[in-house]
Structures are given as C-alpha cells and as structure tokens.
C-alpha cells in the first residue's frame, strides 16, 4: 500500500515542501530503503524509526519498504524526516486514514522510545505551510512557540509518535498552540523606556 505524508526541508532561511512517499510490498525479501538524495542523517533514520515503532508496540513490517523524498533532485539533510517517515509507514499499513495526511506538514526527530525531539527551522516550516494553504503543522513541543508566531496557520505540538498517530487518525483532537507575541516581546526586551542615563558621545571632527 502507498501513503504520502507532507514534510519540509529548510535550506538557509527558506523551507521547501517535501512529499514523503512510502510504499510497502509483501513481495520479495524484506528491506528498508530511502531514496531522493538523503544524506547520512536521513539514512540513519531507518534504525531510529525501527526502534521507535517497536518500542511503542507497533509491529514493524518485515516487507519491502521504499521511502521516496520528493522532489528527488533536492538534497535532504538532518533528522526532521523521522516523524513523517514513521507516520507514513503506519499509514501504509492501514492504521491511519490518509485523509488528513495531505493537510499537515510533519517534522521531528524520533528517539528510540518514540518521543519526538526538536528540529531546526520551525518558523520557516510554518511560513511554508501557510503559503501552501495547508491546515496546520505538527512539530515537537519545543518548536511550537517559534512556529506559532506565524499568523493564519495552526501549530500542533507533539510529545511522542503515538500522540501524532492518534491526532492524524482522528482518535484525539489536538488544540492549536498559541503564543501572545506582544507579551513575549515585552518580557524579552532589553530596552528600557527611560533613556535619561544614556550618554551619547560624538567624535569631534577637526
């Protein structure tokens, strides 16, 4: 069965949409391959995903698993594809209804126990999701505040892979993460309203 999950890859300050296609076939010897110009960190996700799925109680399919990261001519780097690939495998096994998979961008690194670890570029990913007119973004809880400053896109923070599966499968309804931008700016501001103590020294030009 074939499943498609949306993710994104950050290059510089821009995020680019990536389709994570997962095909699982019972014919032939079991193997797990990732294609689409993945770097070493992406290739290593195979071991993290296998362990994470096993430790959350999901029987990893001993079948031919092919993961394609499209577009294939864009080099993929980092560990942020762990979560979308794992969700794609679960969806290809018929556990998740694919209806919601095309509405959200997913990004997150997986630990071996199925927890979701933070990734870089959350703000850029949220901007790309908004530009594409998507429903929302699923991110690790540590990235939620950064992405939530983007107005007009719903940010859902996930602690673990099972939580993401339940949300995408319609078992649970997540609440979008919100942040008070003005309050956050005022709390972190290094400037004071009273500038009476500021002395300005100007060079004397002769």
Asked, for residue 156, whether it belongs to a domain, the answer is: yes
DSSP 99: G
pLDDT above 60 (res 193): no
pLDDT of residue 194: 46
pLDDT above 70 (res 33): yes
pLDDT of residue 183: 61
Residues 117-144 have a mean pLDDT of: 97
Asked, for residue 186, whether it belongs to a domain, the answer is: no
pLDDT above 70 (res 192): no
Question: 200-204 long-range contacts, Cβ below 8 Å, gap at least 24?
Answer: none
Enter the tokens of residue 167: 């949300």
Asked, for residue 28, whether it belongs to a domain, the answer is: yes
pLDDT of residue 200: 43
Q: What is the CATH number of the domain that holds 157?
A: 3.30.230.10
- Percentage of the chain beyond pLDDT 70 is 87
Residue-wise pLDDT tens digits, 94-122 = 888 777 799 999 999 999 999 999 999 99
Q: 3-state class of 23 per DSSP?
A: strand
Asked, for residue 138, whether it belongs to a domain, the answer is: yes
User: Which residues lie below 8 Å from residue 183, measured CB to CB, with a gap of 6+?
Assistant: none
Residue-wise pLDDT tens digits, 51-77 = 999 999 998 999 999 999 999 999 999
Asked, for residue 154, whether it belongs to a domain, the answer is: yes
pLDDT above 80 (res 191): no
Residues 144-158 have a mean pLDDT of: 95
pLDDT above 80 (res 197): no
In terms of residues, how long is the chain? 206
| C-beta of residue 115 within 8 angstroms of C-beta of residue 160 | yes
| C-beta of residue 120 within 8 angstroms of C-beta of residue 146 | no
Domain range enclosing 143: 2-180
Helices (H), 56-168: 82-92, 122-131, 144-147, 161-168
Helices (H), 17-121: 40-43, 45-55, 82-92
pLDDT of residue 186: 56
pLDDT of residue 57: 95
pLDDT of residue 205: 39
Domain count, the chain: 1
Asked, for residue 201, whether it belongs to a domain, the answer is: no
Tell me what the pLDDT averaged over the chain comes to: 88
Asked, for residue 193, whether it belongs to a domain, the answer is: no
pLDDT level of residue 185 (50, 70, 90 thresholds): low
Enter the tokens of residue 118: 């933070």
Residues 33-41 have a mean pLDDT of: 95
Asked, for residue 99, whether it belongs to a domain, the answer is: yes
């Amino acid at each position: 069965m074939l499943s498609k999950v949306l993710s994104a890859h950050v290059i510089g300050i821009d995020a680019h949409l990536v389709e994570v296609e997962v095909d699982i076939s019972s014919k032939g010897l079991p193997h797990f391959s990732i294609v689409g110009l993945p770097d070493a960190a992406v290739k290593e996700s195979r071991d993290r995903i296998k362990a994470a799925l096993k430790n959350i109680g999901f029987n990893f399919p001993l079948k031919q698993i092919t993961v394609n990261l499209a577009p294939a001519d864009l080099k993929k780097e980092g560990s942020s594809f762990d979560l979308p690939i794992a969700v794609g495998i679960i969806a290809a096994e018929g556990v998740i209804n694919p209806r919601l998979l095309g509405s959200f961008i997913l990004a997150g690194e997986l630990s071996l126990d199925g927890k979701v670890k933070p990734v870089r570029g959350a703000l850029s990913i949220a901007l790309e999701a908004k530009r594409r007119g998507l429903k929302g973004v699923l991110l690790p809880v540590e990235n939620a505040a950064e992405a939530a400053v983007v107005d007009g896109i719903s940010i859902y923070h996930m602690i673990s892979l099972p939580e993401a599966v339940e949300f995408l499968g319609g078992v649970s309804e997540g609440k979008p993460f919100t942040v008070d931008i003005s309050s956050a700016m005022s709390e972190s501001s290094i400037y004071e309203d009273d500038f009476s103590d500021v002395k300005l020294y100007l060079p004397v030009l002769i």
